[in-house]
A = this chain, B = another copy of it.
């Protein structure tokens, strides 16, 4: 089992990474603050892993309230959140009840926001079951729901007490979702870890094939990168650099997700196409070469990811992008690549640069 620490002073917590962790009863109890937990999962993940988790928790005498939601990004909304509150109140869960998220990013964000806000905050544990959530959303404390006017517009920073990434759960993951997770893995290499990017270029085939050891290494290295960034900028307040750099490709990606309606493109797919856009825009600013852009495109393609955005119309993209919350005082700030392995936040790109990039990077 691999073990990492997210260093956030009194909010520090470990990430456990390995195979078959859900079955090991000794992993969870040290992190429970009372004898009760509520497990929040969805109709896809619960049939696969809930029984294993319940058995593990019952072995150590913990009472469990399961709360099963429908599966999908379109349920990351107020109604689902309220269903969680209702179930917690019906079961008389109090401030000592630990909420456990068992599922992907949607479940983690929903359960985390419920934990942040139920009775003004209860303890929270993440058990991410998708690659995307294992390498990204389960670490760092971002929680929230979508609003009809935009993604993640309502939420909170709420750190978990523990993250458990069991690589066995990836065996049931559809190939398309594994690829979506790889988009964020590749991001860490592009943004701040060139040696990792090179490792990914050498090992992409093993990852796509679901090689357990390669996946565990990629998850650990991704989480290590994320943990370092989060430790230095917990609340995303850094003016330069910091957490915002992890949004490479995300402002473009969010525009794709909003424009297509949530759920048509997977988040990682939208980020992949958005990452190519960011690389192409970086080339237009003179920071990357055409070969660099090809390198980014090739690696994403080998991971089974889309490298062009849908034809929303460049103006429409821009509108969605300025709805994105990474707008600061009206100026469109973007994360771009100074070089492969080094990201920057910048307002240097002109409206024309962005429109040209969008036109170049979209197809029917």
Contacts and interface: CB of A to CB of B under 8 A. Distances in A.
Interface in A49-70: none
B157 A142 contact: no
A113 to B, nearest CB: 8
Interface string A196-237: 000000000000000000000000000000000000000110
Interface stretch (A147-155, A172-180, A287-295, A299-307): A147-155
B86 A157 contact: no
A276 to B, nearest CB: 27
Contacts of A149: 86, 89-90
Contacts of A113: 117
A237 B21 CA distance: 31
Interface stretch (A22-30, A322-330, A340-348, A350-358): A322-330
Given A154-B85, A329-B34, A120 B94 contact: no
Interface string A112-141: 010011111100000000000000000000
A86 B152 CA distance: 14
A105 interface: no
Contacts of A92: 323, 327
Given A120-B143, A120-B155, 9 more contacts: A86-B149, A90-B149, A92-B323, A117-B117, A117-B144, A119-B153, A120-B144, A120-B152, A121-B157
Interface in A160-193: none
Interface of A: 34-35, 78, 82, 85-86, 89-90, 92, 94-96, 113, 116-121, 142-144, 147, 149-150, 152-157, 235-236, 323, 325, 327-329
A153 B117 CA distance: 8
B328 A156 contact: no
B89 A153 contact: yes
Best-surrounded residue of A82, A117, A323 (most CB of chain B within 10 A): A117
Nearest to A119: B325
Which 3 A-B pairs rank lowest in CB-CB distance, beginning with the nearest?
A89-B149, A120-B155, A119-B325
Contact of A78 (B82, B235, B328): B82
A156 B94 contact: no
Count copies of this chain in the complex.
2
A41 to B, nearest CB: 21
Contacts of A34: 329
Nearest to A142: B120
Contact of A329 (B94, B116, B156): B94
Contact of A150 (B82, B89, B150, B153): B89
Best-surrounded residue of A90, A144, A329 (most CB of chain B within 10 A): A329
Contacts of A94: 325, 327-329
A235 B121 contact: yes
Contacts of A328: 94-96
A90 B89 CA distance: 33
Nearest to A154: B117
B323 A120 contact: no
A325 B78 CA distance: 22
Contacts of A150: 89
A130 B357 CA distance: 54
Contacts of A329: 34-35, 94, 96
Contacts of A95: 325, 328
A118 B154 contact: yes
Contacts of A143: 120
A308 B327 CA distance: 54
